[in-house]
Amino acid sequence: MAAMSGGVDSSVAAALLLEAGHDVVGVTMRLWEGDVEGTCCSVAEIDDARRVAQQLGIDHWVFRFTDDFETHVVDPYAAAHAAGLTPNPCIECNRHVKFDRLLRRAEQLGFHAVATGHHARVDRHNGRMRLRRGADAAKDQSYVLYVLGQHQLERCLFPVGDLTKAEVRARAADLGLRTAGKPDSVEVCFVTASGGRESLLRSRVGLRPGRVVDTAGRQVGHVPATELVTVGQRRGLGLGGGEKRYAVSVDPGAGTVVVGRLDDLMATDVELTDLTWVDEPAAGAVMAQCSAHGTPVEATFDGARLHFAEPHRRVAPGQSVVLYRGDEVLGGGIAA
């Protein structure tokens, strides 16, 4: 079962599976109601996936998983912002939808594996499955896959993981696929280009203005919505010019954003919750990646807290921190 989003990576993934001799069916998940331009489930995206499947000569199915997506991705996303957290909905979609609901559906229908267009690699080492970074460091997506364990990895294929993005596009062009030149999606898939995050959160949790105070508690400004502020943010805090100041904590319940200098944003450690592991729990020296496109840094994990080798910008509560050794994903957790 090839999960086809309508993008070039999943298109080429399906093509590579066919070239390798597999029997392939293309599947697109409908996760979001309506037909709003810019969302993952627009008619245009589904049509692109369907037409690529036609070009490849494979069946194309559409599965409606809107309830799962609402329950496990969109509702928690809104609730997290209301609590002053910075969620990562792509990771929760992988955890609950792509590699849970879709994988279970594939198993029920008799498929041996689910393939996606993620830039990551999976292999077997000493009888256990490993998750590794994709060959293209600039496009590596292993960070958003750290929630996969042995059961999922036994049944997952990432056919483009050994290719650079340029090679993926070249392969798509050679095959004449309509998605060859299609731009990469870069936003949260269910946040529309027109309304944005503000519109979504306003309709679901409401938005409340808040005070901006310095670390001594003096009011220095205000924001129209505390729910839209994340730790580490510098712009949009209504502070005007002068010294650069950053959001160092956000409390929507109290209607307060605390700002400080860059020094006030630095931390020596972070507590990780909701830990998941690719295989056995890890401890000791690791490389820690604190955002999807962040630079890995040296750290030590003691089973609960991650201690940075050098002071590091505070990880926004709610964000995932993924632990690596070399190019291998060990697992990770959510910053408290």
User: 233 and 152, same structural domain?
Assistant: no
- As a whole number, mean pLDDT of residues 285-313 equals 97
Annotated catalytic, 93? yes
- Cα–Cα nearest to 130, from 152, 106, 113: 152
- Whether pLDDT at 194 is above 70: no
pLDDT tens, 240-257?
778 899 999 999 999 999
User: 127 and 70, same structural domain?
Assistant: yes
- Annotated catalytic residue within 40, 41, 90, 189: 189
| Mean pLDDT of the chain, nearest integer | 94
C-alpha of 49 from chain center = 21
pLDDT tens, 99-111?
999 999 999 999 9
- Annotated catalytic residue within 41, 90, 93, 156: 93
User: 7 and 132, same structural domain?
Assistant: yes
User: 269 and 135, same structural domain?
Assistant: no
- Cα–Cα nearest to 69, from 35, 46, 28, 98: 98
User: 106 and 24, same structural domain?
Assistant: yes
User: Do the domain assignments include residue 186?
Assistant: no
To 5 degrees, how large is the angle CA 69–CA 100–CA 277?
Answer: 115
Domain of residue 218, CATH code: 2.30.30.280
User: Do the domain assignments include residue 199?
Assistant: no
| Long-range contacts at 71-76 (CB < 8 A, ≥ 24 apart) | 72/96, 72/97, 73/31, 73/97, 73/190, 74/190, 74/204, 75/204
| Length of the chain as a residue count | 336
Domain of residue 273, CATH code: 2.40.30.10
Domain of residue 111, CATH code: 3.40.50.620
Range of the domain at 285: 264-335
Sheet with 210-214, edge to edge strand ranges: 219-223, 210-214, 256-260, 246-251
User: Do the domain assignments include residue 325?
Assistant: yes
Select from 260, 289, 304 the last residue of a domain: 260
Annotated catalytic, 290? no
**Exposed e or buried b for every residue in 26-48, given b needs 16+ CB within 10 A?**
bbbbebbeeeeebbbbbeebbeb
Tally of structural domains, the chain: 3
Q: Percent of the chain having pLDDT more than 70?
A: 96
- The pLDDT assigned to 185 comes to 78
Pairing of strands 256-260, 246-251: antiparallel
User: 224 and 284, same structural domain?
Assistant: no
User: Do the domain assignments include residue 229?
Assistant: yes
End-to-end CA distance of the chain: 36
